[in-house]
Amino acid sequence: MTPEPGSARPSAPDSTPSSDRPSPLPRFPRDFLWGVSTSAAQIEGAVDEDGRGPSAWDAFAAEAGRIKDGATPRVTTDHYHRYREDVALLKELGVGAYRFSVAWPRVVPEGRGAVNGAGLDFYDRLVDALLEAGIAPVPTLFHWDTPQPLEAAGGWLVRETAAHFAAYADAVAARLGDRVPHWITLNEPAELTLLGYGLGQHAPGRHLLFDALPAAHHQLLGHGLAVQALRARGATSIGIANSHGPTWPASNSPADTEAADFYDLLLNRLFAEPILLGRYPEGIAALLPGPVADDLKTISEPLDWYGINYYQPTRIGAPEADDSATASDFSGIRLPAGLPFAPREIEGRPRTGFGWPVVPEALTELLLTFHQRYGTALPPLMITENGCAYDGIDDPERIAFLDAHLRALRTALDAGADVRGYFVWSLLDNFEWAEGFHQRFGLVHVDYTTLRRTPKASFHWFRDVVAALGWLPT
């Protein structure tokens, strides 16, 4: 008998009083795409094998004090050698799609020039294994692992990096395009710009503050050029994975509202509007290098869908006197003094292991804001990441988080948002960037000493959700 959506398959009759049992999840469209996500730098390992070149994250992790406990991405979960085991887990999970990333330095070790056939061979094997398991491969072409030779030459601050990225995208599509149904160009250019180039918390570790804006523009230009390259290879389903979240003013005061609007511009509008509307928010274009008006024609190449990574909203206030003089920590990020906005805590909410507030209804708000803000310019949406960090193999907090966010997603669908799929971050516990191995986002627990994989309670829960909801009509 098919379980109710959101329920588990108990090994014995459930004696829980009916009034205490969670209600079944609401129905989703029959063709709704269920998946999970990972990224190459966080799970592959094998950084010196088969011709792979160094990435900006390899160089960043080699610098003392950059990563907690000196962790590096050299081995991580060793997915490069254990991918068949991981595909078997995906098959057991029952998802229809797997979002992974292709490592640019594995395919083009110098970032430009010669293509490494052995690197493409790995993704050939992975794609074939996924298709054999009945799972659609959804590769992301760039998930922050810039080849280090390009980074040393300026990385995304340099315009030529966008052209090199397009050439790399063409090489990947030439090899895999006959079997890949969906493509993602970039993952979270906002985070790379702000955390990598602006604040120095992520690779490449630069502290440019607002002088990091050229990195945003060049990533978006690279996105547009990659869309053109993929189209030329026959791709018919292309998207991007941008991080977004609602921005709430700390109060109704004009100062707090103005600060929140500015933060919303930096995190949301700066990365959505060039793609969706073909223009930057007012005042931004003048701060960017190159022929911006012509570049925007490329950046706004039509997409088949638009991916949103959602984790949390942000409450923002105007800086107070002490904010302008003292650096502060917020959600694990060190913020310098003197910014024109100041994050404020969202109180009265449960927290993930990362300390992030759990606010599922903000996902509904975000999706409806996009629906209303961009109207007919907005293609169908995909939730390309949503998840949370908690320790333990028995992880009821993660189940509650995912359950609540799926209900919030269904509410947005009922209110008119056009969302076609949902990907959990992440399949595996992994290398969580500057946090090293301290934050566990996976549905599958990884012992980092033995590399043994153990499905968590949330894995079994999500398996049953997919089994129950995957066949139901609208």
Helices 79-93 and 117-132 sit at what angle, rounded to 10 degrees?
20
Calpha distance 117→435 (Å, rounded): 32
Calpha distance 407→362 (Å, rounded): 12
Confirm or deny that 34 is annotated as ligand binding: no
Calpha distance 90→227 (Å, rounded): 28
pLDDT of res. 326: 61
CATH superfamily of 23-469: Glycosidases (3.20.20.80)
Residues 6+ apart with CB under 8 A from 20: none
The three-state secondary structure class of 238 is strand
Structure tokens at 455: 């499905």
Calpha distance 458→347 (Å, rounded): 26
Is 385 one of the annotated active-site residues of the chain?
A: yes
- Exposure string of 67-82, with b = 16+ CB inside 10 Å and e = fewer, is beeebbbebbbbbbeb
Q: Are 467 and 94 in contact (CB under 8 A)?
A: yes
Q: How far is CA 440 from CA 22, 431, 435, 447, 448, in A?
A: 25, 9, 10, 11, 11
Calpha distance 445→151 (Å, rounded): 33
What are the residue ranges of helices labelled H in 177-323? 189-191, 213-232, 254-264, 270-276, 292-299
Tell me which amino acid residue 27 is: R
Find the length of the chain.
Answer: 474
Active-site choice (44, 191, 273, 385): 385
Calpha distance 265→75 (Å, rounded): 37
Calpha distance 291→267 (Å, rounded): 23
Active-site choice (188, 191, 301, 397): 188
Confirm or deny that 187 is annotated as ligand binding: yes
42-75 residue pLDDT tens: 999 999 999 999 999 999 999 999 999 999 999 9
Is 188 one of the annotated active-site residues of the chain?
A: yes
Nearest residue to 309 via CA among 257, 370, 248, 249: 370
Confirm or deny that 471 is annotated as ligand binding: no
**Stretches in the chain below the pLDDT threshold 50:** 1-21, 471-474
Confirm or deny that 311 is annotated as ligand binding: yes
Structure tokens at 207: 């502290």
DSSP for 372-433 reads HHHGGG---EEEEE------SSS-HHHHHHHHHHHHHHHHHHHTT--EEEEEEE-SB----G
Confirm or deny that 432 is annotated as ligand binding: yes
- 342-344 and 314-317: which strand pairing? antiparallel
pLDDT of res. 323: 61
Calpha distance 51→74 (Å, rounded): 14
Confirm or deny that 92 is annotated as ligand binding: no
Q: How far is CA 346 from CA 150, 258, 315, in A?
A: 39, 18, 6
> pTM score > 0.75 for this model?
yes
- 444-446 and 453-455: which strand pairing? antiparallel
By CB atoms closer than 10 A (0-12, 13-18, 19+), residue 319 is middle
